[in-house]
Amino acid sequence: MQRKLLITEIFHSIQGEGLLMGVPMMFIRTNRCNLRCRWCDSTYTFTGGKEIPLQELVETSTGCREEWICLTGGEPLLQREALDFVRSVTQAGKSVLIETSGSLPVDEFTKFENVVIDMDVKTPSSGEEKSLRLGNLDSLRKTDYIKFVIADKKDYLFASDFILHHNLKCEAVFQPAWGTEMKWIAESVLKDGLNVRVLPQLHKLIWGDRRGV
Say what the pLDDT of residue 1 is. Answer: 64
Superfamily of domain 4-207: Aldolase class I (3.20.20.70)
Cα separation, 31 vs 169, in Å, equals: 30
Say what the pLDDT of residue 89 is. Answer: 98
Say what the pLDDT of residue 73 is. Answer: 95
Say what the pLDDT of residue 132 is. Answer: 98
Query: Does residue 31 carry a pLDDT above 80?
Result: yes
Cα separation, 43 vs 45, in Å, equals: 5
The candidate with the shortest Cα–Cα distance to 30, out of 98, 91, 95, is 98
Lowest mean pLDDT among 81-85, 188-192, 201-205: 201-205
Q: Are 178 and 41 in contact (CB under 8 A)?
A: yes
Return the domain boundaries, the chain. 4-207
The candidate with the shortest Cα–Cα distance to 144, out of 169, 165, 127, is 169
Say what the pLDDT of residue 2 is. Answer: 78
Can you give the chain as a three-state secondary structure string?
A: CCCEEEEEEEEEEECCCCCCCCCEEEEEEECCCCCCCCCCCCHHHCCCCEEEEHHHHHHHHHCCCCCEEEEECCCHHHCCCHHHHHHHHHHCCCEEEEEECCCCCCCCHHHCCCEEEEEECCCHHHCCCCCCCCCHHHHCCCCCEEEEEECCHHHHHHHHHHHHHCCCCCEEEEEECCCCCCHHHHHHHHHHCCCCEECCCHHHHHHCCCCCC
- Burial pattern 7-18, b for ≥16 Cβ within 10 A else e, equals bbbbeebbbbbb
Higher pLDDT, 1 or 206: 206
**What is the mean predicted confidence (pLDDT) over 101-116?**
97
Residues 6 or more apart in contact with residue 164 via CB below 8 angstroms: none
Query: Does residue 6 carry a pLDDT above 90?
Result: yes
Mean pLDDT of the chain: 96
Say what the pLDDT of residue 212 is. Answer: 80
Query: Does residue 92 carry a pLDDT above 80?
Result: yes
